[in-house]
Structure 1
Amino acid sequence: MSIPRVVIVGRPNVGKSSILNWLAGKLVSVVDPTSGVTRDRVTYLMHHRGRYFEVVDTGGMGVEDTDDLTADVERQIEVGLQDADVILFVVDGKTGVVPLDKLVADRLRKIEKDCVLVVNKCDSTKTDAEVPEFLGLAPNAPVIVTSVIGGRNRKELLDLVVEQLPPAAEDEEQSAQSETSDPLMKLAIVGRRNVGKSTFINSLANEERVIVSEVAGTTRDSIDVRFDVDEQSFLAIDTPGVRKKKSLANDIEFYGLVRAQKSIRRADVVLMFFDASQTISKVDKQLVDEINERSKPCIFVVNKWDLGLEEDMTTEKWAEYLFETFASMRHVPVAFITAMDGKNIRQLINLAQAIFKQAHERVGTGELNRIVQAAVDNRNPPYRRNRRPKIFFATQVATDPPTIVLKVNDPKLFEPSWKRYLLGFLRESTPFEEVPIRLYFRSRVRDDEDEA
């Protein structure tokens, strides 16, 4: 039996996303006064009074989406309703009952689900007098007044949710632990708008979890989707498409940029998506710079490869194009997929697992010093200021990313070109062929220098 789902529904701007964030105690869903901000189903796993349950935010019912995605949003709401064990029907205590509330109520009456009527935005007890007018929307449902701003009745709402949950299954604890346990690998899927990230996510999840549309910028929340490969659990983080900073027209798009950067920081491996039919843009460079700065293992994913083939493109040409553009990322593997038909997706996940493993490898100090000595024997660091650079020993001090410290006589004596040579030599001689390596040159303590 799966973990119970509590689905939050209501017309636009009644505070559904705010309630999810409030219950979760963190920013899970984008909150903005613009109607229709939440389009996909956004979820968060809660634990209260010994019960695990998933809280699901949905788009506003009855909203006319500005990007002509109304049907897609409605389909996501419908899927959420069908999967729900408990429904939180949220209304606005300040505005009173409006016609759209009645339309939502009519829709909920047609499905046999346990429901809680949440009269939100009751920031003062003065608004409580208006609550009776809402009772006709859900005559048989328990009612609670809430205020996210005022912090009113959060625990009481959670108590009420737990009371409405179906009886706990014997394996609920085990299922919840499976859901909450750390996945083997977290994959961030990033890229500019409309490169096929959501299509890829849906292929992984085997369900239409994220709206897929030709409208650029559809996904506005970062959405975590768990999937299993060979009985191992992984987490895919889908992020909003990013546009150039100067084109950030509103707060929603700003949130998208921030969330893409946050997703990169969270990830074990970043899948940087490109469109095979489009040239590399400033946005692509901005995202790759973020990946590079964070020293994240990365795969360049060229999606819509069927379109590239139609233009007589070859994998060799595209790979060289990427490496000419991102000279410092020549170690990054390149994958070519067509997410629409699932082509090469399994191979991509296998590749991600391989570089994830690389990032967590360790090389013993003895072996590492033999490799560094071989690099020096092959090409001595040139003299500088009439002094010869010396490396006394090397040690790996961390993984993810692999971090190597070299104790030397003077770090300033080592030319940047020789450092790049050493980095390349290490890639060829260690397991770190396709992942970032952090390399630090440090002076030995004075006593050691005196002994040298």
Structure 2
Amino acid sequence: MKREFRFGLCCKDTESLDAFRFHWGPEIEGETVYEGYLFRRHANRIQCFRPLFIKFTEMPVPRVAIVGRPNVGKSSLFNWIARRRLAIVDDYEGVTRDRMTTLIEAGDRFFELIDTGGMGVEDADNLTADVRHQIEMALSVADVIVLVVDVQAGVMPLDEEVSERLRTIERPVILVANKSDQGHQDALADDFQRLGRGRLVCVSTTQNRNRDELIELIVDRLPEQTDDEDTDAPEMKIAIVGRRNVGKSTFVNSLSEDDRMIVSEVPGTTRDSVDVLFEMDDQKFMAIDTPGLRKRKSQRTDLEYYGMHRAQRSVRRADVVLVFFDAAETVSKVDKQLMGYVMENHKPCIFVINKWDQYHGKVPTDRWVHYIRAQFPTLAYSPIAFITGQTGKNVKTLLNHATMLYKQARERVSTGVLNRVIRAAIDAHPPAMYQNRRPKIFYATQVATEPPTIVLMCTEPKAFTNDYKRYLINVLRDHLPYGEVPIKLYLHRRHRSGDEEESGGKHR
């Protein structure tokens, strides 16, 4: 078992660096646990935390952190090992800010791979301290460290600074000489031996050189395997989407009870879609934080273009989508485009009105409810939640509601129950005449879940108008356990000898 400390803020919030040295003695960079207290350095100020309680948890899977100076190919290496395009890769430095993580399976071992920002980078949006804090957090939890250097650039002064920083960490280090695209370039990597950090291996992510050798080195240096390693998949994946600065990353930090994401007033702080695992009520969940979206004509860089596609992919991966709005701002065209994409993928969603503490008692919730319903009339079935992500108010209630939606989307109804509901709907409101005949529905059946998918066998799919299909969907939603999730409805003409099968569908 592993002891997990939860730290709360001390009564004495901060003190000067000189005062800290006088009272406590040790030098710190980033975060340091000393004599049972957690100290966090911000420039020339020290913030002190004390443990509120100790929680015993299962041993997590081993963690492997990828570090190095900017533009040596850390994110490319991360994607290459994972065999998926997870992290954004671009030519200029400072692209990666938050920690990216993914679970890697290597034979009978698992480990969590962590991508980090460049050490020594000066962020253009004055987020250098936040990026450095994310790197330090990755180093503090890593069981193995992968130090990445650039063979083609040679040993740089910043490489030596990074290596010097790692000397204080007593964990295995693997020195990865990246961009060694040809075998003859391996000799250039010998210069990096003077860094004196770990076993050297030459790789190339573009030419797919020596991946298996690198994986083997990592696995050999992992801690001994225990039966307590937790590799279970999360119960539910939740995508958090919305415009810039609506509080998505703050909400994720509240869920994880950790500074997992960089939070600032700078628009576009989050660039990647980041998976964050957390537990609540002994259940495992995955929150997917996404970049804030903006109008396509306002996208000025490749990063914003990639961020939009990462957000769309996160919607496709998710089981439930939380669409965030700022309580102080009106619905925009970007919000409507985003909701259109959620509807195209038939994902259960919740409208989340964040920062509600600013208006609690001043603006009635009914006003926002009516406003949302007017802006998104086809999503009248989707619930609306009012939360404050910074304080965690109503966050647990929101998560419980998301879990309910996930269960609804996985419900399956028997053919008998389904046909009784459809028959009652037809009796109450028969379909209109079509070519002097009234169309018939012979029977209904559910063929899939997530979303619930219903097929109606009928005489002529074209005979049923869109209004009547919407009527049937609403009846299904009212009488079956699909009250708050999208429903797919297909109408098929019953196959007869010599006839080709026709179909018509309605998705809501």
Match of 2:376 among 326, 349, 352: 326
Matches within 5 A, 1:396-435: 396-435=446-485
Match of 2:226 among 160, 170, 187: 170
User: 294-303 or 48-57, which moves further after superposition?
Assistant: 48-57
Query: Secondary structure of the residue that 1:340 maps to in structure 2?
Result: coil
Match of 2:16 in 1: none
Query: Secondary structure of the residue that 1:440 maps to in structure 2?
Result: strand
Q: Give the TM-score of the pair, scaled to structure 1.
A: 0.93
Indicate yes or no: 2:380 matched with 1:313.
no
* Structure 1 residue 428: Cα displacement: 1.1
Describe the shift of the 1:417–1:50 C-alpha distance in structure 2 as closer, same or farther (beyond 3 A): closer
Describe the shift of the 1:123–1:376 C-alpha distance in structure 2 as closer, same or farther (beyond 3 A): same
* Structure 1 residue 309: Cα displacement: 3.2
Match of 2:102 in 1: 44
Over residues 14-39 of structure 1, what are the superposed CA-to-partner deviations in whole Å (9 max), with x where a residue is unaligned? Answer: 01111111111111211111211111
| Structure-2 separation of matches of 1:366 and 1:125 | 67
Match of 2:187 in 1: 129
* Structure 1 residue 377: Cα displacement: 2.0
Matches within 5 A, 1:86-97: 86-97=144-155
Match of 2:335 among 278, 281, 284: 284
| Structure-1 separation of matches of 2:403 and 2:197 | 51
Match of 2:131 among 73, 92, 106: 73
User: 381-390 or 430-439, which moves further after superposition?
Assistant: 381-390
Match of 1:242 among 293, 297, 303: 293
Describe the shift of the 1:160–1:385 C-alpha distance in structure 2 as closer, same or farther (beyond 3 A): same
Describe the shift of the 1:267–1:76 C-alpha distance in structure 2 as closer, same or farther (beyond 3 A): same
Indicate yes or no: 2:286 matched with 1:228.
no
Match of 1:153 in 2: 210
Over residues 148-170 of structure 1, what are the superposed CA-to-partner deviations in whole Å (9 max), with x where a residue is unaligned? Answer: 1222221111222223223x142
Does the aligned pair in 2 maintain the 1:89–1:117 contact within 8 Å? yes
User: 7-16 or 84-93, which moves further after superposition?
Assistant: 84-93
Query: Secondary structure of the residue that 1:302 maps to in structure 2?
Result: strand
Indicate yes or no: 2:80 matched with 1:22.
yes
Q: Which has the higher strand share?
A: 2
Does the aligned pair in 2 maintain the 1:196–1:339 contact within 8 Å? yes
* Structure 1 residue 41: Cα displacement: 0.8
| Structure-2 separation of matches of 1:249 and 1:201 | 27
| Structure-1 separation of matches of 2:214 and 2:469 | 59
Does the aligned pair in 1 maintain the 2:455–2:490 contact within 8 Å? yes
| Structure-2 separation of matches of 1:13 and 1:283 | 32
| Structure-1 separation of matches of 2:151 and 2:82 | 22
| Structure-2 separation of matches of 1:73 and 1:140 | 23
* Structure 1 residue 385: Cα displacement: 3.2
Describe the shift of the 1:50–1:409 C-alpha distance in structure 2 as closer, same or farther (beyond 3 A): closer
Does the aligned pair in 2 maintain the 1:387–1:413 contact within 8 Å? no
| Structure-2 separation of matches of 1:432 and 1:50 | 40
Does the aligned pair in 2 maintain the 1:187–1:236 contact within 8 Å? yes
Match of 1:191 in 2: 242
| Structure-2 separation of matches of 1:381 and 1:212 | 54
| Structure-1 separation of matches of 2:333 and 2:123 | 29
Percent identity, aligned pairs only, is 54
| Structure-2 separation of matches of 1:56 and 1:122 | 22
Over residues 112-163 of structure 1, what are the superposed CA-to-partner deviations in whole Å (9 max), with x where a residue is unaligned? Answer: 22212111111123333322322222x2522122111222221111222223
Aligned partner letter, 1:102: E
* Structure 1 residue 315: Cα displacement: 1.6
Gaps of 5+ in 2: 1-58, 500-508
Match of 1:374 among 415, 424, 442: 424
Does the aligned pair in 1 maintain the 2:163–2:197 contact within 8 Å? no
* Structure 1 residue 94: Cα displacement: 0.7
Aligned partner letter, 1:264: V
| Structure-2 separation of matches of 1:448 and 1:213 | 65
Query: Secondary structure of the residue that 1:339 maps to in structure 2?
Result: coil
* Structure 1 residue 351: Cα displacement: 0.4
| Structure-2 separation of matches of 1:230 and 1:309 | 28
Q: Give the TM-score of the pair, scaled to structure 2.
A: 0.83
Does the aligned pair in 2 maintain the 1:49–1:162 contact within 8 Å? no
Indicate yes or no: 2:325 matched with 1:268.
no
| Structure-1 separation of matches of 2:190 and 2:498 | 81
Q: CA RMSD in A?
A: 1.8
Aligned partner letter, 1:377: D
Size of the aligned set, in residue pairs, is 441
Gaps of 5+ in 1: none
Match of 1:204 in 2: 255
Over residues 274-301 of structure 1, what are the superposed CA-to-partner deviations in whole Å (9 max), with x where a residue is unaligned? Answer: 1111111111111100110111111111
| Structure-2 separation of matches of 1:52 and 1:414 | 53
Aligned partner letter, 2:424: A
